[in-house]
Amino acid sequence: MFFFQTFNCIVETRLASHVCPFGQIFDLYIARKRDKGGNRFGFISMLDVKDKDELLKCLRNTRMGEYKLWFSIARFVLEDGEISNHQEDKSKSNAYVDTSKKVDEVHVESKKGMADYGGRSFKDMLMGKTITVDSHVNMFHSLHGRALVARMTDLQALKNIKITLNEICLGLGRVQYIGGLDVLISFNDAETAVVVREATKSITEKFSVVSIWEGQALGFERLAWLKVQGIPLHLLSNEVIDTVGGVFRKVVHKAN
């Protein structure tokens, strides 16, 4: 996709007639608003481009009357913050025209964009950053000794944790989800926490690991749903789908 910029007013049909000799146009868009320099700009997509550099060279020789258009390869920020690495031209802005002479060409000065600081993306700038935390920070210390950290065996057990807890101690215990298959269950006193922990030892089909929380560091995990596509019809079984999921991490809820 190419980004174009010009100082005068243009219409799509007129621009298309100047560009179509260089290739098949897939899409053409001209923004209604102007940029900060008062210029019209837009984007044009071409099909089956064999040599983008040669096409860019041809497009940059395009004139509409006394105005010469400026083209560059469009830059896009991807979902993870990276800038697509096959965008080679620098973004252009601050276009101006010397009105003291007959207009021959729109001159452009380059300016750094928000996502272009010395060739580094936002992701590059944020990765690897650390902070120093006071060693005396101890949040939720009032729960130490009277809360349980419980890891459930599967997603179904996690969904039914409140029902299971009511079967053990009706009306007691507050459940907080802390990530993955883990929950924090807090009680009003340490004695109740100990009793409930002992009770969970006989419910191994629902509780995997249960321990008293004394302020120890806890790992952070996430549950992610996978949408699997492209499996051939003759191989499309739940077992194959589960195998695909297992390539990434542990499958906690099997395909059905």
Q: Are 250 and 208 in contact (CB under 8 A)?
A: no
- 163 domain-assigned: yes
Q: Are strands 147-152 and 63-64 parallel, antiparallel or unpaired?
A: unpaired
Q: Which domain holds residue 248?
A: 224-256
Query: Which own/partner contact pairs does 187-194 have at CB distance under 8 Å and 24+ positions apart?
Result: 187/146, 187/147, 187/148, 188/146, 189/146, 190/145, 190/146, 192/146, 193/145, 193/146, 193/147, 193/148
What are phi and psi for residue 246, nearest 5 degrees?
A: -65, -15
What is the per-residue pLDDT for 113?
Answer: 45
* Pair 22, 87 in one domain: yes
* Pair 106, 158 in one domain: no
- 194 domain-assigned: yes
* Pair 197, 250 in one domain: no
CB atoms within 10 A of CB 102: 7
- 107 domain-assigned: yes
d(CA 13, CA 102): 26
What single letter denotes the amino acid at residue 12? Answer: E
d(CA 67, CA 105): 6
* Pair 8, 114 in one domain: yes
Q: Are 24 and 47 in contact (CB under 8 A)?
A: yes
Query: Which own/partner contact pairs does 218-227 have at CB distance under 8 Å and 24+ positions apart?
Result: 218/149, 218/178, 218/182, 219/179, 219/180, 220/178, 220/179, 220/180, 221/179, 221/180, 221/181, 221/182, 222/179, 222/180, 223/155, 223/180, 223/181, 223/252, 224/248, 224/249
What stretches of the chain adopt beta strand conformation (E)? Answer: 2-6, 25-30, 40-46, 63-64, 67-68, 70-73, 92-96, 107-110, 147-152, 174-179, 182-186, 207-212
Report DSSP letters for 158-178, one per residue: HHTHHHHHHHHSTT--EEEEE
d(CA 15, CA 9): 11
CATH number of the domain where residue 102 is located: 3.30.70.330
> Token pair of 26, please?
């897939």
- 217 domain-assigned: no
- 136 domain-assigned: no
- 176 domain-assigned: yes
* Pair 155, 229 in one domain: no
What is the per-residue pLDDT for 122?
Answer: 65
What is the per-residue pLDDT for 130?
Answer: 80
* Pair 256, 167 in one domain: no
How many domains, in total, are found in the chain? 3
- 218 domain-assigned: no
Sequential pLDDT tens for the chain (256 residues): 555 555 555 566 777 777 778 888 777 777 777 777 777 777 778 787 788 888 888 888 877 777 777 788 776 544 444 444 444 444 444 444 444 444 444 444 444 444 444 555 666 677 777 888 887 777 888 899 999 999 999 999 999 999 999 999 888 899 999 999 999 999 999 999 999 999 999 999 999 999 999 988 888 888 888 888 888 999 999 999 999 999 988 888 888 8
CA atoms within 13 A on the CB side of 58: 12
